[in-house]
C-alpha cells in the first residue's frame, strides 16, 4: 500500500476533506450558487478554515496538486466569463467531485443524528501529527485495510470532518489550532467502533491500567505502521461523542458547583469554626495510613514523581533560552533547580523538568504570585503533571535521562535542610536552609 507523505499531496488531501459528504451536506456555500457542484477555488481558499492554516497555499498549487494526485476524484476547470458570471468570478478555477450527482441523491438520508453516530473524540495526538493534514494521515494509517485508501481519494471516503475545539481564552475571531485533541467524523460507524476498541479512553480512577493502549511486543512492531507506533507512544485514545458530551456536562456541573461554594464561603460574614483533631500518637498521619500502605505495596516509579510541569500558551516565536531564563528567574538557584526545558520550536506548549517536587511546587507558587508582573507571558498557564499523564511523558524520555533525573532528585532529598518551609523561593539572604551562605575563596 502506497504511503501518502509528500508535501505536494497536502493541498489535494485538504480539498478531499473540504468536499467530503459531511461538508457538502452541512455547508451550503459548497453547493451554491449554481447547484451544479462546482465551487471556485477562491471561495475555498478565503472562507474555509481548512485552507486558512496554510497562508502560502494558492489556486495554482491547489490545481497542480489535484491534477497530479486526485485526477480520478475531482473535475477542475477554468471559470469561463459569460452573462451569468459576476465580475468577482472572472478568472481562476473551480472544482467539484466527480460523483457529485450520486452524493446529492444521498443528502435526504443525512441528519445530525446520522453524523453523531460516526463522530469520535480523539486525545493525546502525537506532536508530529497536530494539524489537519497530520491527523488525516495518522487516522488514514490506523484504519486503512486495503488499496482502496492508498490514494488521496480515500481520505474523503473514510474521514469526513476534523474539528478543533477553541480554547476559552482565544479571541472570537481566532483560528482554532490543534492542541492535542479533536472531534473527528468518519464515514462508517464500523470504523468509529474499530478505533474506539483499539484506542479506548480510560480515566486513571477507572481502576484498570491494563485497558490503556499497550505497546506491541518486541519483534511485532515491524508489521505495525509507524503512525500507530507513534500514536501508542503518545498515549493516543478515543471516546464516543455521546460519552464525551456527558463528561463535558459532568465537568461543567462540577465547575459550577465549585464556584457556588467559593462564592458562598466568601460572602459569609463569620468564618466557620475550625475543629482541630487531636494530634496522632504515631509519627504517620492517621488520615494517610491507607495511602502509605498502598504506596508500600506499589513498585517505585522509574522516574522522579512530581517534577514535571506542563506550560500552555507560550509564545510560538520563543526559544528554549528565553523560556529557561523566564522560569529560572522565579527560583533560588534557578539554573540548578530547573533541570531541562522540553520545548519544540513553533509549538505553544512545553514541559519543564525540575530537579525535585519541592522546586516544582515552588515554581507554581511563585508563578501565580507574580501573575501581574509577567507582561507578554500573562497568557501562560502552568500545570503539574501527575499520575497517567506524568507516566506517559516519562515513557518518551530515554532511560539514561530518567536515571539521571532520579539521581538528582535523590541527591536533593539527601541534602540537609533541603528547601525552606515555604519552598526554595524564600526571599531571604540566609537562603533556603536558614543558614547564611559562605563565599568561596578563590
**Model confidence over 164-179: pLDDT tens digits?**
877 666 677 777 888 8
Per-residue pLDDT for 317 more than 90? no
pLDDT in tens, 193-208: 999 999 998 755 454 5
Q: Nearest Cα to 188, choosing from 143, 153, 224, 150?
A: 143
Residue 176 has φ and ψ, to the nearest 5°, of: -60, 140
Residue 353's pLDDT band (boundaries 50, 70, 90)? very high
Output the pLDDT for position 117.
Answer: 92
d(Cα 421, Cα 179) in Å, to the nearest integer? 37
Per-residue pLDDT for 183 more than 90? yes
d(Cα 87, Cα 81) in Å, to the nearest integer? 9
Average pLDDT estimate for 15-36: 78
**Strands lying side by side in the sheet with 181-186:** 159-163, 181-186, 119-123, 237-240
Per-residue pLDDT for 376 more than 80? no
Per-residue pLDDT for 84 more than 70? no
H or E element in which residue 50 lies: helix 49-52
Neighbours of 318 (CB within 10 A): 18
d(Cα 201, Cα 197) in Å, to the nearest integer? 9
Output the pLDDT for position 293.
Answer: 47
- The gap between the terminal CA atoms of the chain, to the nearest Å, is 68
Per-residue pLDDT for 432 more than 50? no
CA atoms within 13 A of residue 262's CA, in its CB half-sphere: 6
Per DSSP, 120 falls in state: E
pTM: 0.55
The mean-pLDDT minimum among 21-30, 153-162, 174-183, 242-251 falls in 153-162
Output the pLDDT for position 418.
Answer: 47
Output the pLDDT for position 26.
Answer: 84
Per-residue pLDDT for 153 more than 50? no
Residue 82's pLDDT band (boundaries 50, 70, 90)? low
Amino acid at each position: 500500500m502506497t504511503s501518502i507523505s509528500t508535501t505536494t499531496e497536502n493541498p489535494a488531501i485538504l480539498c478531499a476533506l473540504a468536499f467530503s459528504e459531511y461538508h457538502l451536506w452541512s455547508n451550503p456555500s459548497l453547493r451554491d450558487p449554481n447547484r451544479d457542484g462546482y465551487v471556485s477555488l477562491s471561495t475555498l481558499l478565503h472562507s474555509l478554515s481548512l485552507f486558512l492554516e496554510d497562508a502560502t497555499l494558492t489556486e495554482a498549487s491547489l490545481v497542480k496538486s489535484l491534477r497530479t494526485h486526485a485526477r480520478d476524484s475531482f473535475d477542475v476547470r477554468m471559470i469561463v466569463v459569460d452573462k451569468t458570471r459576476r465580475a468577482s468570478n472572472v478568472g481562476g478555477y473551480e472544482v467539484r467531485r466527480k460523483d457529485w450527482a450520486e452524493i446529492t441523491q444521498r443528502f435526504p438520508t443525512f441528519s445530525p443524528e446520522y453524523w453523531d453516530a460516526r463522530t469520535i473524540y480523539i486525545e493525546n495526538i502525537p506532536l508530529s501529527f497536530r494539524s489537519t493534514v497530520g491527523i488525516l494521515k495518522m487516522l488514514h494509517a490506523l484504519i486503512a485495510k486495503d488499496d482502496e485508501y492508498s490514494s488521496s481519494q480515500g481520505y474523503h471516503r473514510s474521514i469526513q470532518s476534523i474539528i478543533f475545539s477553541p480554547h476559552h481564552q482565544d479571541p472570537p475571531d481566532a483560528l482554532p489550532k490543534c492542541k492535542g485533541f479533536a472531534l473527528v467524523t468518519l464515514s462508517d460507524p464500523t470504523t468509529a467502533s474499530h478505533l474506539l476498541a483499539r484506542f479506548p479512553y480510560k480515566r486513571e480512577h477507572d481502576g484498570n491500567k491494563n485497558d490503556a493502549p499497550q505497546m506491541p511486543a518486541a519483534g511485532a512492531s515491524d508489521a505495525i505502521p509507524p503512525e500507530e507506533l507513534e500514536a501508542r507512544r503518545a498515549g493516543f485514545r478515543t471516546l464516543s461523542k455521546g460519552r464525551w458530551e456527558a463528561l463535558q456536562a459532568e465537568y461543567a456541573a462540577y465547575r459550577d458547583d465549585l464556584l457556588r461554594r467559593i462564592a458562598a464561603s466568601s460572602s459569609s460574614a463569620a468564618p466557620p469554626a475550625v475543629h482541630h483533631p487531636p494530634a496522632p500518637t504515631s509519627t504517620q498521619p492517621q488520615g494517610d495510613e491507607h495511602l502509605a500502605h498502598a504506596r508500600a505495596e506499589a513498585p517505585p516509579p522509574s522516574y522522579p514523581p512530581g517534577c514535571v510541569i506542563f506550560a500552555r500558551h507560550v509564545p510560538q516565536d520563543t526559544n528554549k533560552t528565553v523560556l529557561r531564563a523566564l522560569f529560572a528567574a522565579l527560583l533560588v538557584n534557578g539554573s540548578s533547580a530547573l533541570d531541562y526545558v522540553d520545548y519544540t520550536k513553533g509549538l505553544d506548549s512545553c514541559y519543564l523538568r525540575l530537579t525535585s517536587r519541592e522546586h516544582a511546587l515552588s515554581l507554581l507558587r511563585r508563578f501565580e504570585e507574580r501573575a501581574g508582573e509577567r507582561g507578554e507571558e500573562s497568557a501562560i498557564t502552568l500545570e503539574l503533571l501527575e499520575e497517567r499523564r506524568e507516566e506517559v511523558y516519562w515513557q518518551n524520555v530515554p532511560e539514561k535521562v530518567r536515571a539521571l533525573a532520579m539521581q538528582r532528585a535523590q541527591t536533593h532529598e539527601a541534602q540537609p535542610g533541603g528547601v525552606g518551609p515555604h519552598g526554595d523561593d524564600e526571599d531571604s539572604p540566609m537562603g533556603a536552609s536558614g543558614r547564611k551562605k559562605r563565599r568561596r575563596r578563590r
